[in-house]
Structure 1
Amino acid sequence: MTAATTATLLLPERERFGGQRLSEDLGRRLARADRVARTGDPLARVLDVLPRGWPVAAATRQRDARDAAHAAWLRADPAYVRPDLNGARLLSYGQALALDEAAAADFLRSLKPLFGDAGFTIDAPVPSRWYLRLPQGARLPVFATPETALGADLFEHLPDAADSSPEGRRWRSLLSEAQVTLHNHPRNAARIAAGLAPVNSLWFWGAGVLPDHVRTTYARIYSDDEALTALGALAGADAAALPPRWSAGEGDLAVDLRRARDLQALERDWLAPLAAELDAGRIGRIALDFADGEAFELARGQRWRFWRRPLRSLQP
C-alpha cells in the first residue's frame, strides 16, 4: 500500500480560534513551516469543477439515485421554521429532523399535487434529501444554502425576497403553499406529541445540472459538507463523512475541518498524529489551508530551521 504523500487540512479563518494558545510543538512547527498566501475559493483547490459552480442538488442526486443526467435539479429539503416576534427562523432541516422513509413518503404524498401542477416532480431517494426535477434551462432565483440561513431571520434568506420578477414571485408562492400544506399535515401533530420538531417548511437550494467534469488530485476527501463529498465522488475520490480523528490510508488526502473551533482538539485528533506521520517519513507534506488565505506547508526537512521562534497563537 502506498502511503499518503500529501495531507491538506481545510481550516476556518485563523481568527475563529481567537486567543487560544498553540502548544510548544505546534508553535515550533508552524514557525519553521513555509508560509504561502493563497487566493480564491479553497474548495476549488480540492476540486476542479467545469462549468464553474457548485451544483449541489445534481451532485447529491447522482450519488443518491444515479439518475441526475439530462435534467436540472433543486434540493427542496424538509425544514422546521419557528415563528417569533420579528418573523420566523430556520431552526432545523434535512437529516436533523430524523425522518424515516415512511414519514418522508407521507409528507411528499401531500406535496406532489402542488409541485406537479407547477410542472415539477418532487421525490426523496433519501428521507433527509428531497429533490425537485426541473426542465433543462429552467429560470430560477438565487437560493441561499441552509447553513447560511440556519438560525437567522427566514425573510432575509427567502428566494430573491427583493425580486419582483415572475420567477421570484413564483417560488415565494410555491414555498407559501407548501408551508400551508405541511402545517396541516397530520404527521406533524404526531411529531409534536412525540417531542419532535414539525416539518412545516421546505428549503430550496443547490440548483444546477451535472457538471461536464469534476477532477481532483486527492485520492481521499473527508468532509461533513455533502456537496464536497458528492462532487468528490463524481471525481472518483474515496469521499466520505469526516471521521473523528486521523487514520492512516492510501493516497493523497484532503480533510475538511472548516468547522473546527477548538485548537486543542484539532491538534490532538489531527495535527499531532499527522506530524508524527511526517516525522516518520510516511507523509511527505502537510498543508494547513486557512479560509482567510494564509497557508502553512510543513515538511520534514524544516526541523533544521531551529533559529525561528515558536508561534504562540494563530492570530494574524
Structure 2
Amino acid sequence: MAETSPARHLLIPFAGRGSPACRAATPGLQLPKLEALLARLAPAGTDAQDDSTFSPPHERALAAALGLAAPDGCIPWAAREARALGLPGSEGDAAWAWLDLCHWQVDLRDVVLGEPAQTQLSAAESQSLRDAAQPLFEEDGIQLHGGALPGRWLASGELFRGLPTASLDRAIGNSISQWSPITDAGRPLRRLQNEIQMLLYTERVNDDRTARGLPPINSFWLSGTGALPAAMQPEGAAPTVVDLLRMPALHDDGAGWAAAWAAVDAGPVAELLADCERGADVMLTLCGDLDAQRFAGGPRGLSGWVKRLFNRPRAATVLETL
C-alpha cells in the first residue's frame, strides 16, 4: 500500500496583530487568495491563550507540528538547533538556551528591548565578545557556542533546565521588566547578566561600533530554554513558516504590515490555494498575538461548491479574531 504524502502546511506568524497601527490597517486588507483558500478549508483547531504567555501562538503552533511538547516558555528551540549543528553534548539531554546579543534602550522611565537583528553585528564581533564572555559563563557551569546567526550564542548548562523564558517575539519593543521576571531559578542568570553588561561596557568592539554610528551591544536576551530527550522520536513534518509579516508587526508599521500581507497573499497563500485546487491535502495556520487557528481540507464535491458559493469569509474578519 502506497504511503500517503503529508499535507502541505503553511504557518503564518503575525497574521493578526493587536498593536494600534496594524489593528487599524486590518479592515482594509484586500486578500483575495486567502479568502478563496479559507472558503475551501474548514476550521481544524484553535489554540487561544492570553497576552502573558512567554511562548507566542506561532511558536506553540510550530512546536505542536514538530511534536515538541513543552510547558509555556520552555520549548527547547536552542537544544533543537544545537543537535542539528552537532554541538558537543547535544546528543544527550543537556539543557540549552539561546543568548541573543542586543541593545537595551534606556530612558528615565523604562528599559526597552531593541531588535537584535538591527544591531548589524558581524560574525567577527560576535566571536570577539563570546571569547571575552566565556570565562564569566564558565564560572556558572555554562558553555558557550556559536550558532547559525551572528550575535546568537548557544549556551548549555543546568541553569536552563525547566527555566521559562520569553520569546524575543514577545519582548522586542517592550519593557524588560515585563518579560524578564526575577524568580529564584533565574537569580543566578540575572547576576550573570549584570556582570556581562559591565564587561560589554569596556569592550573595544563597542567603541568601534559607536564610532561607526551603530548601537552598542549592552546585554543579551535569554530564550529557547529547555532540553530534548536523548532518544527523541522523529519530528513531524515541518510546516513552511512565512516570516514576511514579522518585522512590520513588531514595529507596528501598519502600512508595511499591509504591504507584506499583500505579498504573502500573492505568493505563499496563492501557491497553497493552487495546491488545494489541484486536490492536494493542505493546512493553513494563522497566528496572532493571542490565538493560532488551523484550517484543513473542507468538504469537496457539491457540498464543497455550495460552501464556497455561500460562505466566503472575509479575511479581515478572521484576522481580527487572532
Q: Which of 212, 218, 241 is matched with 1:223 structurally?
A: 241
1:304 deviates by: 5.5
> What are the Cα deviations for residues 143-197 of structure 1, in whole angstroms up to 9, with x where unaligned?
2222211111112222x32x3x3x3332211111100100111110101111222
2:112 matched to which residue of 1? 89
What CA distance in whole angstroms lies between the structure 1 residues aligned with 2:195 and 2:115? 19
Are 1:80 and 1:90, in contact at CA under 8 Å, matched by a contact in 2? yes
SS at match of 2:174: coil
Q: Which residue of 1 aligns with 2:20?
A: none
The residue number in structure 1 matching 2:268 is 270
**Cα gap change, 1:87/1:5 in structure 2, threshold over 3 Å: closer, same or farther?**
closer
Given candidates 26, 30, 38, the residue that maps to 1:18 is 26
* Distance verdict in 2 for CA 1:298–1:23, change over 3 Å: farther
Distance 2:63 2:129 in 1: 37
Matched, 1:64 2:85: yes
Matched, 1:289 2:308: no
- Distance change (3 Å), C-alpha of 1:3 and 1:314: farther
Map 1:136-215 → 2, pairs under 5 A: 141-158=163-180, 160-161=181-182, 163=183, 165=184, 167-211=185-229, 212-215=231-234
Report the TM-score, using the length of structure 1 for normalisation.
Answer: 0.72
| Shift in alpha-carbon separation, 1:15–1:187, aligned structure 2, 3 A | closer
Deviation for aligned residue 1:15 = 5.0
**TM-score when scaled to structure 2?**
0.71
Residue type of the alignment partner of 2:28: Q
**1:114 counterpart = 2:136:** yes
Query: What is the rounded CA distance, in whole Å, between the counterparts of 1:97 and 1:297 in structure 2?
Result: 39
Q: Is the deviation greater in 291-300 or in 126-135?
A: 291-300
| Residue identity (%) | 23
Higher fraction of helix: 2
Long gaps (5+) in structure 1? 225-241, 245-257
**Structure 2 counterpart of 1:46:** 65
- 1:193 alignment partner AA: A
Compared CA separation, residues 215 and 22, structure 1 to 2 (3 A): farther
Go from structure 1 to structure 2 and tell me whether the alpha carbon gap of 1:314 and 1:202 turns closer, same or farther (over 3 Å shift).
Answer: same
Residues 293 and 96 (structure 1), Cα distance of their counterparts in 2 relative to 1, 3 Å cut: closer
State the Cα deviation string for residues 53-95 of structure 1 (Å, max 9, x = none): 52111111122344312332222221111211213111132x4
Q: Is the 8 A contact 2:10 2:272 kept in 1?
A: no
Do the aligned partners of 1:14 and 1:315 also contact (CA within 8 Å) in 2?
Answer: no
Which whole-Å deviations, capped at 9, do the CAs of 1:75-119 have from their partners, x for residues lacking one? 2221111211213111132x4433333222211222122122223
The residue identity in structure 2 corresponding to 1:151 is G
CA 1:103 to 1:45, structure 2 compared with 1: closer, same or farther past 3 Å? closer
- Figure out how many residues of one structure are paired with residues of the other and give that number: 275
1:79–1:202: 8 Å Cα contact kept in structure 2?
yes
Q: What stretches of structure 2 of length at least 5 have no aligned partner?
A: 18-24, 49-59, 251-256
1:26-50 deviation line (CA, Å, top 9, x unaligned): 5455345434443575335411125
Which structure's residues are more often strand, by fraction? Answer: 1
Deviation for aligned residue 1:129 = 2.1
